[in-house]
Amino acid sequence: MDATDSRRQFLRQAGLGAAMAALAGPGAAAASLAQPLTAAMQNNDKKKLGWAIVGLGKFATEEIMPNFKDCQHSRLVALVSGSPDKAKKLAQEYGLQEKNIYSYQNFDSIKDNPEVDVVYIILPNSMHAEYTIRAAQAGKHVLCEKPMATSVEDCQKMIDASKKAGKQLMIAYRCQYEPFNLNAIERIRKGELGKIRFITSDHGRLVKPTEDKADTWRVQKKLAGGGSLMDIGIYSLNAARYFTGEEPVEVTAQISSDPNDPRFKEVEDNVAFTLRFPSGVLASCTSSYSYETVKRGRIFGDKGWLDLDPLSDYDKHNMKIGKQDGKEEPQLKEGNQFAAEMDHLSECIMQNKTPRTPGEEGLRDVRYIMAIYESARKGKAIKV
């Protein structure tokens, strides 16, 4: 099943038939993609699958664990951590049994725990491959954080391990489960913006390794794989792909990092990259670890433009649309993208369907990221 098939399947499962039709091309009928995804799933199996979280860091504890409360098909049952005290405290907070706490050393014995169906990997980037493969070998389905891995080879090994185990592998591209982004995709496919000509997207923030523990590994090449591009530029890259519904054919890029800034001894700071798509659309994107937080995207068509600013926030999005006859600011309802994402995988497992963002989707982005690095290094366009 290719990415388009799996996007169709996702929309069908989410009860979003018209948007699915829209994937067939502009002008197709459309329904509202703004409805909460979980609501659209209510007719399906009410069973909840058991989830284990690997890595109890900032994102896991602040965004993922609290959002199981809104899941219809997923419940937190186990924790995997290198810090027994932290795990015990969190287990108490979430009402989990102490026997369901694992260390990185005894993680493989999770295979004997029938309560755990899915393992969610929320570790530093370079550890995603090892723990995804170990989880698959333990007979578990996997949701893995972005970027999928720090090399194309690792991505392929993760896909192979999950296939061999007959288990699902999904990459946590939360924006593809988020109502504003889904609504933008629907409008584009309906032809509301006319022929798409250009996309811009920027993702940046100030990386603070001396102040924020979660940033310490982000400036170490061995753990992060790269800098701003791997961490947040991937949102711009992925958005350009889901807005166009196309795969790029060529990338060009430039990188600029202050050699005197200790944060950028090992990983890059500023990246400017352009993706050329088969239809002729160009996507011009930036990522940075040294400009104040920006997470936005704009799609330019010959009938109008659409802004998402923010595009990739956790809980606050904003859409603006400009056309010849004026501007509008559609008032869409925020949804719980984390719960929608986890429930999507649980549903795919229960229904034996390929998720919307399978391992292959993560591998494609890592391949384009490597081409972006290559282009910057060689100072020339790279065909992909």
Residues near ligand NAD (CB under 6 A) are 55-60, 82, 122-125, 145-146, 172, 174, 213-214, 217, 223, 231
Sort residue 187 into left (φ over 0), alpha (ψ -120 to 50) or beta: alpha
What's the closest the beta carbon of residue 327 comes to ligand NAD, in angstroms?
29
Q: Which is nearer to ligand NAD, 148 or 321 (CB)?
A: 148
Catalytic residue (choose from 120, 173, 177, 235): 235
- Peptide bond connecting 26 to the previous residue in cis, omega within 30 degrees of 0: no
Our CB check for ligand NAD shows the closer of 67 and 183 to be 67
Q: Which of residues 100 and 252 has its CB atom nearest to ligand NAD in the complex?
A: 100
Instruction: Tell me how crowded residue 382 is: count the other CB atoms within 10 A of its CB.
Output: 18
Q: Is residue 78 within 8 Å of 113, Cβ to Cβ? A: yes
Q: Which residue in the shown chain puts its C-beta closest to ligand NAD?
A: 57
Residue 358 has phi, psi (to 5 degrees) of -75, 180
Is residue 197 within 8 A of residue 301, CB to CB? The reply is yes
Q: Which of 102, 120, 140, 146 is catalytic?
A: 146
Secondary structure of residue 307 in the 3-state scheme: strand
To the nearest whole angstrom, how small is the minimum distance from the Cβ of residue 173 to ligand NAD?
A: 8
* Residue 333 and residue 222 in contact, taking contact as beta carbons nearer than 8 Å: no
Q: Got the DSSP string for 192-254? A: TT-SEEEEEEEEE----TTT-GGGTGGG-HHHHSSSHIIIIIHHHHHHHHHHHTS--SEEEEE
Neighbouring C-beta atoms of residue 313, cutoff 10 Å: 18
Does residue 355 have a cis peptide bond before it, meaning omega lies within 30 degrees of 0?
no
Closest approach, Cβ 25 to ligand NAD, in A, equals 30
Closest to ligand NAD by CB, 277 vs 338, is 338
DSSP codes of every residue in 47-85: --EEEEEE--SHHIIIIIGGGGGG-SSEEEEEEE-S-HH
| Least distance in angstroms from the C-beta of 234 to ligand NAD | 8
Scanning 257-358, the segments in alpha helix (DSSP H) are 337-351
Which two tokens mark 80? 């995997």
> CA–CA separation, 374 vs 372, rounded Å?
5
Residue 235 annotated among the catalytic residues of the structure: yes
Query: What amino acid positions are annotated as catalytic residues?
Result: 146, 235
